A and B are shown apart, each in its own frame.
Chain A
Amino acid sequence: MRRLTRRISKELKAWVSEGLITAGQEQAIRARYEQGTGTSWGMILFSGLGAVVTGLGVILLFAYNWDGIPKLVKLFLIYGALAAAHATGIRLFAASRKRRVVGEACCLLGTMFFGAAIWLVAQIYHIDEHFPTALMIWSAGALMMAWALPSLAHGILSSLLIVVWCGMEAVAFHAPVHIAPLMILLLLGSLAWRQASRLLMGFVIPSFLICLLMVLVTGAGHEGEIVAMVLLNVSVILVAAAGLVFNHARASRFGSIFSLFGWLVFFVLLYAMTFPEAAEDILDIEFGRVSAVPMVYWSLSAILALSAWAWLIYRCIRQKSTYRIPWEHYLLPATVLVSMCGMLQKPDGWLAALPYNLVLLAVTIGMMMRGCRETNARAAIVGSIVLVVYTFSRYVDLFESLLVRGAVFIVIGIAIFVQGVLYNRVKKTAGDDNAD
């Protein structure tokens, strides 16, 4: 919003001098856009980072464990710092809208001191409890403040702490923390929704995916392949979610985030499955050996993925949404179904990988065509990049003859070149139409 305001401000003078608008109209436009100039992101970033770094410094300072400082003095110092930071922050936050950002930063500092206090108390009393619990308590404190203020910075801190907590439990204790991804999705996702914050949602989705990955890897035991299947289903859910929120007043701003991470995970997994050995391995799941929990994750994610797509398709057919599903997107739920069949049939080698190769090719070609047709640069570029990467992979394992390899490269190169030409032509035509 501030970028738009700055741009309009620059253009207004030119418009007045060219006689497009009057001076009075210029003032009216300025007044309209300079009201509520939105969040000062620079202030948030610098004050938030400053708070976090200061807090970490305090933690390290106490980690030095000065024997010279009496125990009670250390405790009062940190309690005092925590109370002072929060008191200052709350005072500023409540004082005026202008000071809210600084107030939030002070409260963030207070939450960092909260973390420092936990570690300090553990150090003073030589507490050797299950140490990830400290991260859980810290993240809970940050989550509380995130909702109370509300504060995006606290939300981001909380999501990072939950990820670290989940990671510590997984790595140090091989214990899956099933509640962690739920906490992120439900408690922080809902905060992002409530605050209509793309920034926070941009942290929530990858944090959720990372926690889910750690939980699955830790809990999957000998059948780690099921992790890939669950993540594939989740990626399909995310892409469906992008379509489902398209017409929602508040949630539509999250569509691009759901789409980004959904497609990212989908492409990574799909690409891996285009290799025969990987596809064969991943589909070769012994259901009898998979424990209950990963099976629940897989079943639930598959049901949700297919249900989400069914709902999206229903909404589009009944015209309850203006979202148009590109034809290549239908391949996502199809991949879920193909994977389910593959897990039952357990095909070998190229028979296992062939469906995924076809899906990848179809999706990328579809994206490239749509990119040209709708002058959607992102779709065109992503499709082209994925196609090139895919071609290089098949260069290594599919084609033996240099003649065939050369021919394929030429065809792909020409296709991308033609795409560029068509894209420009369509864009020019669209520009001419707008001018008319």
Chain B
Amino acid sequence: MIMRTRTKIIIFAACLQLAVVVFMAAQREWVVQFGDRVFLQTLPVDPRDIFRGDYVRLDYEISHLPRRLWPGDLEPKGTEEAAGKLDKDERVYTVLETNRFNVARAVRVTVSEPGVPLFIRGRVKHHWDQLLNVRYSIEALFVEQGKGLEIEEKRRRDDGIRIPMEVEVALGGNGLGVITGYRWSSIGIGLDITEDEDRNPVTATVTLLNASDKPLAVVALPEAGSLELVPDMRTLRGEATWQWVGRSEQTEVKDQHIVVLQPEETHRITVDFTDPAWFVQREGGKPVSLSTPGRRRWQRFRFVYNGPPPSETQNLQKSDIIWHGEVVTAAFRGARID
């Protein structure tokens, strides 16, 4: 009788082990099968995990959330003494919105589960006045041994052009995210900066590459009108932000602005930092050039190429091969590129 009871206990313990690993897999498989699928833009960061093999470390646009995305229920904690509501490792929920390519963007962040269909749960990694860093437990993509390096090499080629990776994530009803795959952007982007003898940036050249295997068209508006200059969200912590002055009016896209790129062909767009159209300013301040020395040089910026929406190009020639997506360069600070 004692032995039988003992045997039952052993069987129970063994079954519990099996149940734990089955539950781990089942929970995520449920999300994969029935969850909403979105793509998340990655930022570049190729380590090897001794237990899980090769993996690619991922960083997402939605991992770095600016202050404007926090509604009233989140308070900043800029100093040690400040009474804030957010602690490291605290659970937060990022509400998402997808574009026509099913690429998701962060819309707002809450501390309680939002009553909307599309959101992802994470934990606070770091918290500053103007920036929130969040981990979503989807920061690693495990691949077969050797493939990690291949992915890294594709993401960042020898010619300095980056081909962004978009990770497909299934989202569960409770915000649990599970990586289900990835795809590569059809357009790669590179950045070069020239500097003067005092190491101030003078010009920037953005290179667009057709990374696909078929012809694609990009839009090259005059005076680099296809590009935008944005602050790098990853490094805005407690300092006041410098913003690009922007464009007063948008040029209409015409046939002469369309540039067709064959596979592996590139197109370059040059920006002159001394041109007032590319000045930056603080809220309520005067516009200044990134070429002149000053604190603004401490802040990182990035260029964004935005393909025009289909509605603006449907009557143009080559409209069927125009690329409508968005791609972002590496961050730069002064004349230094990350």
Contacts and interface: CB of A to CB of B under 8 A. Distances in A.
A129 B137 CA distance: 5
B145 A79 contact: no
A188 B139 CA distance: 35
A78 B139 CA distance: 25
A63 B13 contact: no
Nearest to A145: B13
A82 B3 contact: no
A83 interface: yes
Contact of A127 (B7, B28, B53): B28
Interface string B14-37: 101110111011001100100000
A114 interface: yes
A144 B22 contact: no
Given A65-B143, A94-B7, A128 B137 contact: yes
Interface string A78-115: 11001100110110011000000000000100110010
A241 B52 CA distance: 43
A145 B14 contact: yes
B137 A65 contact: no
Interface stretch (A22-30, A118-126, A283-291, A411-419): A118-126
A162 B50 CA distance: 18
B164 to A, nearest CB: 18
B17 A63 contact: no
A127 B28 CA distance: 9
Contact of B179 (A67, A117, A126): A126
B7 A79 contact: no
B106 interface: no
A369 interface: no
A137 interface: yes
Contacts of B6: 94, 148
Contacts of B135: 128
Contacts of B221: none
B53 A64 contact: yes
A224 interface: no
B123 to A, nearest CB: 9
B9 interface: yes
A65 B25 contact: no
A124 B21 CA distance: 12
Interface in B44-59: 49-54
Nearest to B147: A67
A75 B7 contact: no
A431 to B, nearest CB: 49
Nearest to A141: B17
A128 B59 CA distance: 12
Contacts of B143: 65, 67
B20 A137 contact: yes
A121 B21 CA distance: 7
B321 interface: no
A41 interface: no
Contact of A107 (B14, B21, B139): B14
A251 interface: no
Contact of A122 (B7, B17, B52): B52
B10 A90 contact: yes
B213 interface: no
A67 B10 contact: no
Contact of A126 (B3, B16, B140): B140
A79 B137 CA distance: 24
Interface string B154-185: 00000000000000000000000011000000
Contacts of B11: 90
Nearest to A74: B25
Task: List the 10 closest A-B pairs by CB distance, nearest first.
Answer: A86-B14, A63-B53, A148-B13, A126-B179, A128-B140, A117-B21, A125-B28, A144-B13, A123-B52, A114-B17
29 contacts: A65-B54, A65-B143, A66-B144, A67-B143, A79-B21, A79-B22, A82-B17, A82-B21, A87-B14, A93-B10, A94-B6, A119-B51, A119-B52, A121-B21, A122-B142, A126-B141, A126-B142, A126-B179, A127-B24, A127-B137, A127-B140, A128-B135, A137-B20, A141-B16, A141-B20, A145-B13, A148-B9, A148-B13, A149-B10
Interface of B: 3, 6-7, 9-14, 16-18, 20-22, 24-25, 28-29, 32, 49-54, 135, 137-145, 147, 178-179
Interface of A: 59, 62-67, 75, 78-79, 82-83, 86-87, 89-90, 93-94, 107, 110-111, 114, 117-119, 121-129, 134, 137, 141, 144-145, 147-149
